[in-house]
Amino acid sequence: MSNLYDEMLGFAKENIAPFTKEIDDEAKFPVDSFKAIKDKKLTGLLVPKEFGGMGLGFYEHTQTILAFANYCATTALCYMMHNVATNCLATHGSDELKKEILPKIANGEIMLALAYSESGTGTHFYIPEIQVTKESNSLKMDGRKSFVTSAAYADYYLIDANSFDNDGLDNWIVSKDLAGITFEHSAWNGLGMRGNASCPMILKDVNIDEKYRIGASGSGLEQIMNTVGPFFIMGLAAVYSGVALNASNTIIEYSMNRKYSDESALCNIPTVQNHIADIYTKATSAKFFTLSAAKSVVEADPAALANVIAARLNASQLAVDVCTKAMKIGGGTAYAKRLTIERLLRDSLAAQVMAPSTDVLTTWLGKALTNQEII
Residues 239 and 168 in one domain: no
Residues 327 and 235 in one domain: yes
Total domain count, the chain: 3
Residues 175 and 105 in one domain: no
Which CATH number covers residue 73?
1.10.540.10
Max alpha carbon distance in the chain (Å)?
Answer: 82
Element (H, E) at 60: helix 58-69
**The Cα angle at residue 192 between residues 154 and 255, in degrees rounded to 5:** 125
Classify the phi-psi angles of 147: left when phi > 0, otherwise alpha if psi is within -120 to 50, otherwise beta.
beta
Pairing state of beta strands 138-148 and 131-135?
Answer: antiparallel
**The Cα angle at residue 40 between residues 38 and 46, in degrees rounded to 5:** 75
pLDDT per residue, tens digit, the chain (375 aa), is 468 999 999 999 999 999 999 999 999 999 999 999 999 999 999 999 999 999 999 999 999 999 999 999 999 999 999 999 999 999 999 999 999 999 999 999 999 999 999 988 766 777 888 999 998 889 999 999 998 999 999 999 999 999 999 999 999 999 999 999 999 987 678 899 999 999 999 999 999 999 999 999 999 999 999 999 999 999 999 999 999 999 999 999 999 999 999 999 999 999 999 999 999 999 999 999 999 999 999 999 999 999 999 999 999 999 999 999 999 999 999 999 999 999 999 999 999 888 888 999 999 999 999 999 987
**The Cα angle at residue 347 between residues 150 and 286, in degrees rounded to 5:** 110
Cα 14 to Cα 8, 9, 61, 251, distances in angstroms: 10, 9, 20, 21
Q: Is residue 73 part of a domain?
A: yes
Alpha-carbon gap, residue 324 to 101, rounded angstroms: 43
Domain interval for residue 66: 4-110
For the four alpha carbons of 356, 361, 363 and 369, in that order, the dihedral sign comes to positive
**The Cα angle at residue 354 between residues 299 and 315, in degrees rounded to 5:** 50
Q: Is residue 375 part of a domain?
A: no
Alpha-carbon gap, residue 373 to 375, rounded angstroms: 6
Q: Is residue 209 part of a domain?
A: yes
Which CATH number covers residue 153?
2.40.110.10
β-pair partners for 134: 139
Give φ, ψ of 81 to 5 degrees: -70, -35
Residues 155 and 140 in one domain: yes
Alpha-carbon gap, residue 220 to 223, rounded angstroms: 5
